[in-house]
Amino acid sequence: MQRPRIKNILADGNAGQQVTVCGWVRTKRESKGIAFIALSDGSTQDTLQLVIPEASPAFQALIHCNTGAAVRACGILKESPAQGQRFEVEVSAIEIFGDADPVSYPLQKKGHTLEFLREISHLRPRTNTFGAVFRVRNILAEAVHEFFQSRGFVWVHTPIITASDCEGAGDLFTVTSFDMGKLPGSNNDVDFSQDFFGKRAYLTVSGQLEAEFLAMSLGDVYTFGPTFRAENSNTSRHLSEFWMIEPEMAFADLKDDTRLAEEFFRFLCRRTLEKGESEISFLEKFYKNTSVAELKDLSEKAFVHITYTDAVKELERSKEKFEFPVKWGLDLQSEHERYLTDKVFKGPVIVTDYPKDFKAFYMRMNDDGKTVAAMDVLVPKVGEIIGGSQREERLEVLKDRMLQSGIPFENMEWYLDLRRFGSAPHAGFGLGFERLVQYITGMHNIRDVIPCPRAPQLIKF
């Protein structure tokens, strides 16, 4: 079906031109013998106004053309006398593919709550809000590839099914072909040697470990794929299935890593404004939790850098009443992170050099023997969006760290091989894609920036 997109018509159309457009009816109204339809085809935030005079043969068809109906309309493009739109279409023929019953169509009226829309995740992309969010998501996904490709990074595809727990945190979903009603072994001790892969397998929590071996041959690489975590976190910033971007660079240290993260983040903000300003303006107007001005500022601004040790001092100095204790050696909680970004520094902050005890085994030990070359990028409202580090490239130090962290060597010899053969300093990070989209769009809940959110007790279809 040949059809120009509404986005292109509004940008490059010419008055007098014959057009055929397809889309869904957002609103229909009649006034003094003329019907007006606002048509959306998903290509842009804007709708295209269709004008159908009573005298037109198309007018009769409009009885079966309600909000939500899918239609094709042919007509002449005209300069629009109405405010806020450049063109409208004077319709000569209209074809209705599928009507939507005004009584039962859930989006018949505007102004539903985001909670209600979450219940109808298959229909919510038809609203202005979710159209905007998913278009911004697409702009960001394209920009991710553009950024890394333009710097010579190789996009690598790390496995989704894995036998190792990268983060060592144990929040894994098991992948099995067992008939769950007939598990071999006793109930508490399932015999995974009889399972599909001959050992226990999981959905990956991160592609980092595999990205490391690819960086140790290809130089600079990045992953962009789905990751899964079975942590029981019912919050507005956690999903059980989310996408992560993980660059990994050979011959790089923590400084190179933080620099890459900053440049990456600024680039993403800039591209969003270049390609999605109308989406951001819409979200700014309705939710007031993002803004064109703020993104412009972010696309130019350097991040504040602070060590964990100094961040703890800053928190200890504060008069704020925190729910969780602040003490050197304890992990920062989101209330602490937000205090730093929202109140102290009023912008993105990179915290580096965390105590080794609550960070992953693969992070490079600093000379003080107490901290590791780790970094977290924290942003206002959302908190941590990036976690990364320089990796431990010294075989013996890494083995010690694995022992201390209780990481079994079984299954990990290949990872140690990278330190045995041509080991080199390397560093990388993981950007949570939904946290990024959440921050850029200003959506309060991460469940509203992915088409089908998965979270504890939540899987609709």
Which string of x and - marks every residue 189-228 that binds ligand 4AD (by CB under 6 A)?
Answer: -----------------x-x--------------------
Ordered alpha helix ranges (H), 206-251: 208-218
Is residue 165 involved in binding ligand 4AD (CB under 6 A)?
Answer: no
Q: What would the two tokens of residue 219 be?
A: 């130089």
Residue 428 contact among ligand 4AD, Mg ion, none, beta carbon within 5 to 8 Å by kind: ligand 4AD
Nearer to ligand 4AD, 88 or 167 (CB): 167
Q: Which residue in the set 13, 68, 225, 432 belongs to the binding site for ligand 4AD (CB under 6 A)?
A: 432
Mark the segment that binds ligand 4AD (CB under 6 A) among 103-111, 261-269, 349-357, 430-438: 430-438
Is residue 383 involved in binding Mg ion (CB under 5 A)?
Answer: no
Phi and psi torsions of 109, nearest 5°: -105, 155
Nearer to ligand 4AD, 91 or 205 (CB): 205
Nearer to ligand 4AD, 60 or 233 (CB): 233
Is residue 430 involved in binding Mg ion (CB under 5 A)?
Answer: no
Long-range contacts of the stretch 296-302 (C-beta < 8 A, 24+):
296/269, 298/265, 298/266, 298/269, 298/347, 298/348, 299/266, 299/267, 299/269, 299/270, 299/273, 300/266, 301/266, 301/347, 301/348, 302/262
Nearer to ligand 4AD, 41 or 434 (CB): 434
> What span, in angstroms and rounded, lies between the C-alpha atoms of 18 and 355?
67
Is residue 246 involved in binding ligand 4AD (CB under 6 A)?
Answer: yes
> What span, in angstroms and rounded, lies between the C-alpha atoms of 388 and 359?
10
Nearer to Mg ion, 28 or 359 (CB): 359
| Shortest distance in whole angstroms from residue 386 CB to Mg ion | 8
Mark the segment that binds ligand 4AD (CB under 6 A) among 141-149, 290-298, 310-318, 431-439: 431-439
Q: How many CB atoms lie within 10 A of CB 154?
A: 14
Torsion of CA 116, 121, 124, 130, to 10 degrees: 100
Nearer to ligand 4AD, 126 or 238 (CB): 238
> What span, in angstroms and rounded, lies between the C-alpha atoms of 434 and 357?
28
What amino acid is encoded at 111 in this protein?
A: G
Residue 127 contact among Mg ion, ligand 4AD, none, beta carbon within 5 to 8 Å by kind: none
| Shortest distance in whole angstroms from residue 386 CB to ligand 4AD | 5
Cα dist from 268 to 255, 294, 298, 299, 440, whole Å: 20, 13, 10, 8, 9
Residue 35 contact among Mg ion, ligand 4AD, none, beta carbon within 5 to 8 Å by kind: none
Is residue 401 involved in binding ligand 4AD (CB under 6 A)?
Answer: no
Mark the segment that binds ligand 4AD (CB under 6 A) among 4-12, 128-136, 181-189, 422-430: 422-430
Q: Which residue in the set 25, 62, 100, 166 belongs to the binding site for ligand 4AD (CB under 6 A)?
A: 166
Residue 388 contact among Mg ion, ligand 4AD, none, beta carbon within 5 to 8 Å by kind: ligand 4AD
| Shortest distance in whole angstroms from residue 246 CB to ligand 4AD | 4
Residues 371-390 that bind ligand 4AD (CB under 6 A): 384-389
Task: Give, as one character, the DSSP assignment of residue 299.
Answer: T
CB 233 within 8 A of CB 456: yes
| Shortest distance in whole angstroms from residue 237 CB to ligand 4AD | 6
Q: What would the two tokens of residue 223 be?
A: 């992953």
Nearer to ligand 4AD, 252 or 385 (CB): 385
Which string of x and - marks every residue 343-382 that binds Mg ion (by CB under 5 A)?
Answer: ----------------------------------------
Helix, strand, or coil (residue 368):
coil
Beta bridge partners of 363: 391
Residue 432 contact among ligand 4AD, Mg ion, none, beta carbon within 5 to 8 Å by kind: ligand 4AD
Helix, strand, or coil (residue 31):
strand
Is residue 75 involved in binding Mg ion (CB under 5 A)?
Answer: no
Helix, strand, or coil (residue 249):
strand
Phi and psi torsions of 160, nearest 5°: -90, -35
Q: Strand runs (DSSP E) across 135-234, as ranges? A: 154-155, 161-162, 174-175, 185-186, 189-190, 201-203, 220-228
| Shortest distance in whole angstroms from residue 167 CB to Mg ion | 8
Residue 288 CB-density burial (10 A; 0-12 exposed, 13-18 middle, 19+ buried): exposed
Percentages helix, strand, coil for the chain (3-state, rounded to 5) are 35, 25, 40
Give Cβ neighbours of residue 266 (< 8 Å, ≥ 6 apart). Answer: 298, 299, 300, 301
Nearer to Mg ion, 77 or 205 (CB): 205
Is residue 387 involved in binding Mg ion (CB under 5 A)?
Answer: yes
Query: Which residues in this chain contact ligand 4AD in the complex, by CB under 6 A?
Result: 166-167, 206, 208, 229, 238-239, 242, 244, 246, 384-389, 428-430, 432, 434-435
Query: Which residues in this chain contact Mg ion in the complex, by CB under 5 A?
Result: 387
